[in-house]
Chain A
Amino acid sequence: MSKNKSDSLSMYPVKTKKQVTLIGLIVLGMYLFSMFWTQREMVGGFSGALSNMFQVLEKFFPPNLSVLSAIMGPLFQTIQMAIIATTIAAIITVPLALLSAQNVTTFKPLYVATRTLLNLLRTIPDLVLAVIFVGLFGIGIFPGILALIVFSLGILAKLISETIESVDMNPLEAMRASGANTLQMIYYGLIPQVLPQYTSLVLYVFEINVRASVVLGYVGAGGIGLLLNQQIGFYNYPNAMAIIVMIFVVVLVIEYISNKIREALI
């Protein structure tokens, strides 16, 4: 009797409880395996590493701020690369997003093909793109910009096509009924609905590109990463910390500005 009472008081049925327990155990098992697998080559294990960590991180402080003037050049170059890449990606993404939006491209094979291409594009990490473009075009900022363009195209086109798919189709239908052609429909019906979101997403991708461009220098694709790599390679940690602090500041400032612009738009 008392057992029945406790069952009826419980919020969830027994079956759900069993399922949740099972899933919890699987997740825990995968976690333990992951922890074991990632630490198998470690000397001293988890606790050794953690006790050591703060001691080693102290080497980074204080950052050597006297190298700031030398950092500025590559840092601005990084931002410029992100600006150019984002701009070009923002232009190319428009036709791609239209082609991969279900309510604009009614021809199904074309829609599926563009979608598949974009999904494939998004699986390739930015670093791999950079490596391939450096292999093709040699060392420099040009392959870096190309890598950023292709990388951001995948993200941007997907997000924007989703925005296009969520627009209110009623004004467009009303326009078609009163005899507007496709271009007029896009210009007067679609663009006013999509433009604020579009700008916001482009800014978001710009933020992603600034972060991503740090890694490009590691494979010779220009920007601040090359300098950081060198300083870490020379064990010159205070200099490296100065670079890291500058990247941190730039990312924060850009995030702040783009948040302000976004608030003004929406």
Chain B
Amino acid sequence: MAALQLPPKPKNSLYKKIKGILIFLIVAAIYIWTFVSIDIDFAKAIEQVRQNFGNVISGLFQPNWAATGDVALSMLETITIAFAGSLMAAILSIPLAFLAANNMMGGKIGSAVGKWILSAVRAFPDIILAILFVVAVGPNPFAGVLAIAIGSTGMLGKMFSEIIESIDMDVVQAMQANGANRIQILFFAVMPQVIPEFLSYAIYRFEVDIRASSILGIVGAGGIGTMIFFASSNRDWSQMGTILLGIIIVVTIIDFASAKIRRKIV
């Protein structure tokens, strides 16, 4: 009776082993560096939390209902910042996405340039863009709109270009073979394939931008962030409770609505 034969185990090559060990060593070194040089004063933190816990937590759970009107107005401002910003971004990122997609007009060089622009824009955190625009156009909500618009263009442009790259090129070629010009190809072969996904990502981005724009006020770019800043400097925790409640409600509603709409589109 023959013994049951197991298939041989896959052997790792020497190169793979060395690579694995090297990555492990680098990661270990990063962790050692991190934990050796960081210093956290736990004793102080524990002492502080003993003093503040009751104050902060009871404040947060007893919202200041008198501030509801102010919070609602600020939230409206946050929503308008996010809306104007993401719509601008959605429009701005379309030409950039067509440039960055390697199967469209740009060719290899254009695609590289487009991708480079998009990733450079993406590397700026929203808050940094907000700082720059607050200095440029003054401390008002419009600085927030510009920050959101530019910040989202980087991400949306990347998403859009990936969508364009994934379209069915057979349709485009068939139209070319039939003698369609470039504009006809754009409107009848490319657009119908990409529009539902473009819309879906733009709406998703609006969701993200609501969260992003709610913190921009800390650098003076309007919205609910301004109230967060004042409540935190005054250590007014019941005010903070109201703000938090407002943010949670608005974000939840918008997430829910956007998920519904996106499911309908795609």
Contact = CB atoms under 8 A, between A and B. Distances in A.
Q: Are A and B interaction partners?
A: yes
B194 to A, nearest CB: 15
A30 B84 CA distance: 8
A226 interface: no
Interface string B210-243: 0100110011001001001001100101001001
B83 A138 contact: no
A198 interface: no
Contact of A38 (B49, B80, B244): B80
A134 interface: yes
Contact of A83 (B34, B52, B228): B34
Contacts of A255: 119, 122-123
Contact of B127 (A41, A46, A49, A215): A215
Interface in A26-65: 27, 30-31, 33-35, 37-39, 41-43, 46, 49-50, 52-53, 56-57, 59-60
B260 interface: no
Interface of B is mostly: helix
B189 interface: no
Contacts, number: 181
Contacts of B122: 255
A237 interface: yes
Nearest to A48: B137
B251 A123 contact: yes
A111 B32 CA distance: 37
Interface residues of A, number: 67
Interface stretch (A2-10, A97-105, A182-190, A245-253): A245-253
28 contacts: A27-B87, A34-B83, A35-B145, A38-B77, A38-B81, A43-B138, A49-B136, A49-B137, A57-B136, A60-B132, A81-B38, A83-B34, A120-B248, A123-B247, A125-B211, A125-B214, A125-B215, A126-B215, A128-B215, A131-B232, A132-B60, A135-B232, A135-B237, A137-B45, A138-B45, A145-B40, A232-B135, A248-B128
Interface of B: 23, 30-31, 33-35, 37-38, 40-42, 44-45, 48-49, 52-53, 56, 60, 76-77, 79-81, 83-84, 87, 119-120, 122-128, 131-133, 135-138, 140-142, 144-145, 192, 211, 214-215, 218-219, 222, 225, 228, 231-232, 235, 237, 240, 243-244, 247-248, 251-252, 255
Closest 7 CB pairs of A and B: A34-B80, A38-B141, A34-B84, A49-B137, A138-B48, A127-B215, A123-B251
